[in-house]
Amino acid sequence: MSPETVAAAAGRIAEHAVAHRLDAVRVVLHGGEPLLAGAAGLAGVAAELRRQLDPVTRLDLRMQSNGVLLTEEIAEVLVDHGVAVGISLDGDRAANDRHRRYANGASSHTQVLRALALLRRPEYRPAYAGLLCTVDLANDPVRVYRALLAEDPPHIDFLLPHANWERPPPRPPGVPTPYAHWLLAVHRQWTADGRPVPIRLLDSLLATATGGVSGTEAVGLAAADLAVIETDGSYEQVDSLKSAFDGAPATGLDVLTHPIDEVAAHPMIAVRQAGLAGLCATCRSCPVVRQCGGGLFAHRYRPGHGFDNPSVYCTDLVRLISAMSAGDDAGDRPVTRPATIPAPRRPPADGPPEPSGPSGGPPEPGRAAAASPRPGPSRATAPPEPGRPAAASPRPGDSLAPAILDDLGSGYGGDDAVGQLAAIHLAKTRALLVALSPAAATSSVAAAGWDLLVDLDVTAPDAVREVLAHPFVRRWAHRCHDRPALADLGRLAAVAAAAAIRAGATADLAVPVRDGVLDLPTVGALVVPDADRPAAVSVSAGGVRVRAGDTDVTVRPGDTAVTARPDGAGHPAGWRPVRRVPGRAPVLIEDTDPYRDCYQDLPVAPRLSGPDAARWQRHLDAAIRRIDAEAGEYAPGVGAVLRAVVPLRPDRGGRQRSAAAATAFGAVAVTPAPDDAALAVLLVHEVQHLKLDGVLDVCDLVDRGDPRRVRVPWREDPRPVEGVLHGTYAHLAVADVWRRRPGAAAGAHHRRYRDWTAGALDTLLDLGALTPAGERFARRMRATVDTW
Amino acid sequence: MTHHVRWGDQVDRIPDRPTTATAPLDDLRHTPLGRIPIARARTVALSDTRTTDRPSRLDVAAFGSSI
């Protein structure tokens, strides 16, 4: 697509977004194969779209690709420009090779997996949108599902092969609904696994069963809201219509001449915006029509009748929906696997993904519950004392003492109080690991790691404590529990090896290599690009020897550098030692841990260069010193809680961004700050979140069953009550920091944050959604604000 | 009292903090990992995950500022 056409297309989309006041617009780059445009070409297209659309709407920019040409350079472009890529993958090698080979017949599977490994790296993970798989009856459905799951995708979607009444899909003799059986087999396993990843087609059917909205045009009655812009600027309807007849998607319109409203008025698109009324009589009278929505438009085509028909997959859809709705798919007959099945017609090579419905962004203002007082059910159920334990079976001693809770409620927290929060974190991590240990017994690598960790916990408890206190050890363990089907239990061996290294113990164990990197939490990471099995790690007082593939490296204790030497300068090749903040030894600059990408839409930075790391070290040291000097009441919290700072990529909009995650207690993620004064504010803000997370680990402060959303001045979207409490607690500290700084600008900042805090406290205390402990906590905050 | 950790160019110094009250979940810190009852660990661990029947807690809190 020429730059002129890109500019014209972006202009038309922006014009449409403004005219219709669209909250969000999704643009999908597809082909053919969009990676053929190369890094510069993709950067140009993405930059132009963002230049024109970012000021007027929220641009959800995506791409659909086979991934074969993905490189680090292109991945950088994708993350820099906020492009999320969906990769086409049909299952394991055998499944994928049925249709996705090079022209010479060679398999592309290895290249696709290499691309997925790249996208899984924390620094590129924001560019990983998910996997798109076309159903092929010749492939075993559960094996396909397992192969997709192994790639740890954020989303999975399944497409039915292109077909219509003229060219129906292949069906084995005697099996009337084989596609339903195939998808039901996936559904069964997915359900048994606890739905570890969203599957758009199945999620959409579940959503529409309860009156919700479909996320795909393949099912549901949502209005079609997708148009295609070809490389020459002509508008077309969805690509899937190409499977109906030659020229089916054509509209005769183009971006240079016509606004998008004219495309929307095209009869073929208009009929797809009519919901139920746009379907044939058979569909309109069908009991499952609100779920299937008549199926994909292209699947309805029949020569002589156009698209005024049920889907050619109608019987499969009815069976699938009925079985899912009734929950009776457990007894669904298995897929019949005939010896030969005619190859299904495929979508165009790496064609566009099915367009989705609402993007899942913040709730629309009109749909948010107003913040109004109501009787709080917690008042009837909560015990009278503050600090009610959050655990399902609380024990005496599982909650914070009232005096500690009061101290933290003031917004500050002395050494004793914040020390208890750090102790809670360690206890929670230990509980998570012990709860994982039975599952670890099923893996020899994990079991050996667990055994070593258990031994070290007795012989070298301080070393174990240092590793288990690392924020991302808890994050990893939490993810294992949260998604057991994807549990990375082998990391237990890495945790144990790290503890052994810190203890100076002697140990030999196998440690998994993940996406080409052997990571040892709190110690460092070794790049092992060609390892296809766990590395042999030998730990002794003299160092760590790692053997994997062609790699045989010994890392000695001095190679775990505090100083910010560039990688490779004085270290073994491929070794990336963890860097620390000089003078603040417990605080790591975390740019190696594979579990550090847990901050939603905030992309983490890749491994820092030596000069960048040195700059971070200087800024962090100065910022922490500044907190000590100008806001000493917050220094104990920073000292006790902060264990890692995760560098984020600079914000595209130039804002200072920071984040904290409850499941990565002790870590703060921040974008590069202009100076230590700005960084100090971000650190104090995020440590407040962590402090409150620690409290909430053992105390119920809000009624989590309260569904109300509350408007707050610091966010556009209404927030749940716990979110309001979090924001209030953090902004109290920010207001306090600015209060202590000289100058008119600081005074203005202080007043703004103070007013936000005071207003939110009034709302919280009037809402009736706090527990007695929460109300007491909020009143302590109120008392602090009232002293200013 | 200071705990010394052997690795790193600079020794970590993690001072013990005086406490006037025992921190919650004390048993989980002071019982060796191999002796913590699984049921006890699960009770505490599951309150940290969505597998409980409680609505999940907020996880990520993000802050954007022009300061």
Domains held by chain A: number: 1
Q: Is the pLDDT of residue A772 over 80?
A: yes
Omega before residue A413 within 30° of 0, cis:
no
Q: Which residues on B lie below 8 Å from A558 (Cβ)? A: 9
Cα–Cα distance for residue pair A123/A162, rounded to 1 Å: 36
Q: Is the pLDDT of residue A339 over 50?
A: no
- Residue A464 inside a domain? The answer is yes
Q: How close does chain A come to B31, measured CA to CA in Å? A: 10
Per the structure, the complete domain to which residue A416 belongs is given by 402-698
A511 bridge partner residues: A535
Over residues A189-221, the pLDDT tens digits come to: 999 999 999 999 999 999 999 888 888 888 988
Across chain A, what does the average pLDDT equal? 88
**3-state per-residue secondary structure call for A321-374:** HHHHHHCCHHHCCCCCCCCCCCCCCCCCCCCCCCCCCCCCCCCCHHHCCCCCCC
Over residues A638-688, the pLDDT tens digits come to: 999 999 999 999 998 888 899 999 999 999 999 999 999 999 999 999 999
Longest dimension (CA), chain A: 82
Neighbours of A285 (CB within 10 A): 9
**Residues across chain B:** 67
Q: How close does chain A come to B40, measured CA to CA in Å? A: 8
Q: Report the pLDDT value the prediction gives residue A189, as an integer from 0 to 100.
A: 96
Q: Do B10 and A580 touch (CB under 8 A)?
A: yes
Q: Is the pLDDT of residue B4 over 90?
A: no
Contact A641, A660 (CB under 8 A): no
Q: Which of A168-177, A285-294, B11-20, B43-52 has the lowest mean pLDDT?
A: B11-20
**Taking phi first (over 0 means left), then psi (-120 to 50 degrees means alpha), and beta for anything else, what does residue A667 get?**
beta
Instruction: List the single residue in B with minimal CA-CA distance to A667.
Output: B60
Q: Which of A116-125, A223-232, A678-687 has the lowest mean pLDDT?
A: A223-232
- Residue A214 inside a domain? The answer is no
Q: Is the pLDDT of residue B66 over 60?
A: no
The confidence band for A600, taking pLDDT boundaries of 50, 70 and 90, is: confident
Tokens of A54: 């970012």
Q: Do B64 and A655 touch (CB under 8 A)?
A: yes
- Residue A447 inside a domain? The answer is yes
Q: What is the radius of gyration, based on Cα positions, of chain B?
A: 18
Q: Is the pLDDT of residue A494 over 70?
A: yes
- Residue A175 inside a domain? The answer is no
Over residues B44-64, the pLDDT tens digits come to: 998 765 433 334 455 556 665
Q: Is the pLDDT of residue A121 over 70?
A: yes
The confidence band for A18, taking pLDDT boundaries of 50, 70 and 90, is: very high
Cα–Cα distance for residue pair A312/A166, rounded to 1 Å: 9
Q: Which of A99-108, A222-231, A524-533 has the lowest mean pLDDT?
A: A99-108
Q: Which residues on B lie below 8 Å from A457 (Cβ)? A: 32-34
Contact A557, A502 (CB under 8 A): no
Cα–Cα distance for residue pair A580/A562, rounded to 1 Å: 5
**What single-letter DSSP state applies at residue A569?**
S
Q: Is the pLDDT of residue A387 over 60?
A: no
The one-letter code for the residue type at A676 is D
Cα–Cα distance for residue pair A237/A245, rounded to 1 Å: 13
- Residue A449 inside a domain? The answer is yes
Q: Report the pLDDT value the prediction gives residue A15, as an integer from 0 to 100.
A: 96
**What single-letter DSSP state applies at residue A107?**
B
Which of A586, A570, A574, A566 is closest to A546 using CA atoms? Answer: A574
The confidence band for A369, taking pLDDT boundaries of 50, 70 and 90, is: very low
Name the CA dihedral angle for A289, A293, A297, A300, rounded to a multiple of 10 degrees: -10
| ipTM confidence score | 0.82
DSSP string, A479-518: HHHH-GGG--TTHHHHHHHHHHHHHT--EEEEE--BTTEE
Q: Report the pLDDT value the prediction gives residue A243, as an integer from 0 to 100.
A: 74
- Residue A238 inside a domain? The answer is no
- Residue A632 inside a domain? The answer is yes
The one-letter code for the residue type at A214 is S
Interface of B with A in 17-56 (CB under 8 A): 17-29, 32-34, 36, 38, 40-52, 54-55
Across the range A720-747, mean pLDDT stands at 95
Instruction: List the single residue in A with minimal CA-CA distance to B56.
Output: A704
Q: Report the pLDDT value the prediction gives residue A551, as an integer from 0 to 100.
A: 86
Q: Report the pLDDT value the prediction gives residue A606, as an integer from 0 to 100.
A: 96
Q: Which residues on B lie below 8 Å from A435 (Cβ)? A: 38, 41-42, 45-46
CA angle A452, B49, A414 (to 5 degrees): 80
- Residue A645 inside a domain? The answer is yes
Over residues B13-22, the pLDDT tens digits come to: 333 444 457 8
Which of A495, A642, A650, A526 is closest to A592 using CA atoms? Answer: A526
Proportion of chain A above pLDDT 90, given as a percent: 71
Please give the residue that has the higher pLDDT: either A376 or A23. A23
Q: For residue A413, what are the CA distances in angstroms to A419, A634, A692, A695?
A: 9, 7, 11, 11
A–B CB contacts, 8 A cutoff, strictly below: 221
DSSP string, A619-654: HHHHHHHHHHHH-GGGHHHHHHH--EEEEBPPPTT-
Across the range A265-283, mean pLDDT stands at 85
Q: Which of A195, A418, A421, A434 to mutate to test the interface with B (most CBs of B within 10 A)?
A: A434
Tokens of A406: 């009061």
Cα–Cα distance for residue pair A533/A510, rounded to 1 Å: 9
Q: Do B8 and A562 touch (CB under 8 A)?
A: yes
**Taking phi first (over 0 means left), then psi (-120 to 50 degrees means alpha), and beta for anything else, what does residue A275 get?**
left
Q: Report the pLDDT value the prediction gives residue A346, as an integer from 0 to 100.
A: 39
